[in-house]
Amino acid sequence: MDCIATFDTTHMAILFEKTCRNAGFSCKIVPVPRSISASCGLACRFRAEDEAMIRQLAMEHSIEVLEYHPPDPGN
């Protein structure tokens, strides 16, 4: 299952994806799901098992994540 990170700006979404990929994590920019709201309309999807490490990575690189959303059991 995948988690979703949302952002206030497109720049932060792109930086998050690039930073995650450079660190070897699977991460993809996606439109924000309808059940979630974010200012820029972009989100990043990544594997739930990588969440703790990705959160730490984002903090280390001063990437401003609006919210982290847990996996949706319906998907």
- In order along the chain (75 residues), what is the average pLDDT of each group of 10 residues? 93 97 97 77 95 98 95 65
Beta bridge partners of 28: 45
What CATH code is carried by the domain that includes residue 16?
3.30.70
Q: What is the predicted pLDDT for the residue at 67?
A: 93
Residue 39 domain flag:
yes
In the chain, the number of structural domains is: 1
Q: What is the predicted pLDDT for the residue at 37?
A: 73
- b/e string for 41-69 if b means 16 or more Cβ within 10 A? ebbbbbeeebbeebeebbeeeebebbeeb
pTM: 0.89
Residue 15 domain flag:
yes
In sequence order, the 6+-apart residues with CB closer than 8 A to the CB of 49 are: none
Q: What is the predicted pLDDT for the residue at 73?
A: 62
